[in-house]
Amino acid sequence: MPGPGRAGRRGGGARRPKWFARGGRGATRTQVGIIGAGPAGLTLALLLQRHGIDAVVLESRSRQEIETTLRAGVLEQATVDLMGELGVAERMMRQAQFHGGIEIRFGGRGHRIDFVRLTGGRRIALYAQHEVIKDFVAALLERGGRIEFSVSGVALRDLDGAHPRLSYRAEGGAREIDCDFIAGCDGFHGPSRAAIPEPARTEHGQVLPFSWLGILAQAPLSSPELCYTHSDRGFALLSTRSPEIQRMYIQVDPDDDVAAWPDARIWEELRARTAVGDGGWRLIEGPVVQKGIVDMRAFVCDPMRYGPLFLLGDAAHIVPPTGAKGLNLAVADAQTLAAGLAAHYGSGGDGLLGRYSEICLRRAWRAVRFSMFMTRLLHRDPAHGPMERRVQLAELDYLTSSEAAMASLAENYVGLPLQW
Ligand SMILES: Cc1cc2nc3c(=O)[nH]c(=O)nc-3n(C[C@H](O)[C@H](O)[C@H](O)COP(=O)(O)OP(=O)(O)OC[C@H]3O[C@@H](n4cnc5c(N)ncnc54)[C@H](O)[C@@H]3O)c2cc1C
């Protein structure tokens, strides 16, 4: 990876005061305008700050909202390492649970995939996304970074012209920021991707024929590691938030309603799907404190760059959560863009920035492949007949008995190396 960039070529780089009025239209300016304070936007902001590159983050929700929204929970080793490099890992290292493997359960038997042995010592960390957000926001603000919360009407202007800028409304009225570059980190529904003219982008997408009903339960751990279960009744996942709070999912129909799933029905289904043949294991139950249903989809926008605009994270790609890749992909995009911008403002040239889309798409498609593989392997597809069912069971049998197949799953799950 290139090191921190020197004070910049285009527009004065890090020597420029952080914020200054530009006169004329009265707009402020920054080097990189970031839309969205999710994992992608905050990682990028922290990395740019380290490189001495000016950035401002515009977020439509309040700080309290982004710090309490439940989402992902699995951090790849590389994400953990990056948090350490950025000096934002202190709380995570104390509170996360580190797992050296996962269990794949089917036919009433569990099979451990030993990540540490199969990947030369790599592990995953279980640490909730909103805790990552809390750590990133606190560090960024403490170090003088700028986030504007609760803004509305963010619009990307003049992407084809000489003065790309962001307009928005905040307390006190309408505002504009002139930017050298714009980072679209605003998730699947944000305005960034739509700002790329339709003829200039191709969108690949597939909605899968099942959803996940997820619960948070106040209960001790039932399983020491994540347990991915395939059964005739459908998929189930036992994950964790802390020793006291467990995250569990069951496959449901896409048109299912949470109201049709009282707690007793969820526990009955979880018990049935995760049961083991010898009866030597028991699911530990407890009060359900939160539940909701999420769609399963795969989506990729190609390219991930349009002139001064770069798309990152869910704004560019969505992967089914079975592979636990969404947050980690967002972080990898931010690392790639930060390195490209550091080279641009330093002495490294524009080669890396020019290849941003190609580099990130390669990683995204590999994550889509792995997440679709895990999804097809473990879910009960309503369109499958007896032939496909037997092939699925043979796939599970092969996966859990072949060293090569287990190693392939392990290296993808802990995260492929960042390459550019
Ligand atoms: C319900 C749910 C459950 C998930 N569970 C998992 C999981 O278990 N494992 C996993 O790996 N992944 C999971 N994911 C995916 C993972 O959470 C995402 O991949 C990750 O959040 C992507 O980060 P991001 O920064 O790209 O986008 P986001 O986290 O979506 O952040 C985008 C930010 O942009 C802001 N924004 C949007 N529009 C605007 C606007 N107009 N102006 C300003 N700001 C705007 C949003 O408020 C948000 O804060 C889940 C996603 C969802 C929705």
Query: For 297-353, what is each residue's pLDDT tens digit?
Result: 999 999 999 999 999 999 999 999 999 999 999 999 999 999 999 999 998 899 999
Average pLDDT over residues 274-298: 93
Q: Quick one: pLDDT at residue 18? A: 41
Query: For 90-100, what is each residue's pLDDT tens digit?
Result: 999 999 999 99
Q: How confident is the model at residue 21 (pLDDT cuts 50, 70, 90)?
A: very low
Ligand 1 pocket check for 214: Cβ under 6 Å:
no
Q: Which residues, 6+ apart, have CB-to-CB distance to 161 below 8 Å?
A: none
Q: Quick one: pLDDT at residue 25? A: 53
d(CA 338, CA 221): 38
**Looking at residue 363, what DSSP letter applies?**
H
Three-class DSSP category at 110 = strand
10-73+128-201+303-373 CATH, one of 3.50.50.60, 3.40.190.10, 3.40.30.10, 3.40.50.2020:
3.50.50.60
Can you state the angle between helices 356-378 and 326-345, rounded to 10 degrees?
Answer: 170
Ligand 1 pocket check for 190: Cβ under 6 Å:
yes
Average pLDDT over residues 124-133: 96
Average pLDDT over residues 195-208: 97
Distance in Å, CA 402 to ligand 1 centroid: 35
> What are the boundaries of each domain within the chain?
10-73+128-201+303-373, 101-125+208-295+383-414
Q: Which of ligand 1's atoms lies nearest the C-alpha of 323?
A: 11
Say which range, 212-216, 246-250, 275-279, has the weakest mean pLDDT: 275-279
Q: Residue 114 corresponds to which tokens in the numbers above?
A: 């030993």
Ligand 1 pocket check for 326: Cβ under 6 Å:
yes
Q: How confident is the model at residue 172 (pLDDT cuts 50, 70, 90)?
A: confident
- Known catalytic residue at 99: yes
Distance in Å, CA 388 to ligand 1 centroid: 34
Domains 10-73+128-201+303-373 and 101-125+208-295+383-414 share a fold: no
Average pLDDT over residues 207-228: 96
Of 334, 340, 350, the C-alpha closest to 57 is 334
Annotated catalytic residue within 51, 325, 344, 379: 325
Annotated catalytic residue within 164, 308, 320, 321: 321
Ligand 1 pocket check for 117: Cβ under 6 Å:
no
Is the confidence at residue 388, as pLDDT, over 70?
Answer: yes
Distance in Å, CA 349 to ligand 1 centroid: 31
Distance in Å, CA 75 to ligand 1 centroid: 15
Region 101-125+208-295+383-414: CATH code: 3.30.9.10
Q: Which of ligand 1's atoms lies nearest the C-alpha of 66?
A: 49
Provide φ and ψ at 51, rounded to 5°. Answer: -85, 0
Q: Quick one: pLDDT at residue 23? A: 34
Cα Rg for the chain, rounded, in angstroms? Answer: 22
Query: For 244-265, what is each residue's pLDDT tens digit?
Result: 999 999 999 999 999 999 999 9
- Known catalytic residue at 291: no
Average pLDDT over residues 124-129: 96
Average pLDDT over residues 67-86: 94
Ligand 1 pocket check for 333: Cβ under 6 Å:
no
- Known catalytic residue at 413: yes
Is the confidence at residue 124, as pLDDT, over 70?
Answer: yes
DSSP string, 384-399: --HHHHHHHHHHHHHH
Contact 228, 274 (CB under 8 A): no
Contact 221, 245 (CB under 8 A): no
CA distance to 1, 76, 308, per residue, from 345 (Å): 15, 29, 14
Q: Which residues, 6+ apart, have CB-to-CB distance to 312 below 8 Å?
A: 40, 41, 44, 183, 184, 185, 304, 330, 333, 334, 337, 360
Distance in Å, CA 2 to ligand 1 centroid: 28
Ligand 1 pocket check for 66: Cβ under 6 Å:
yes
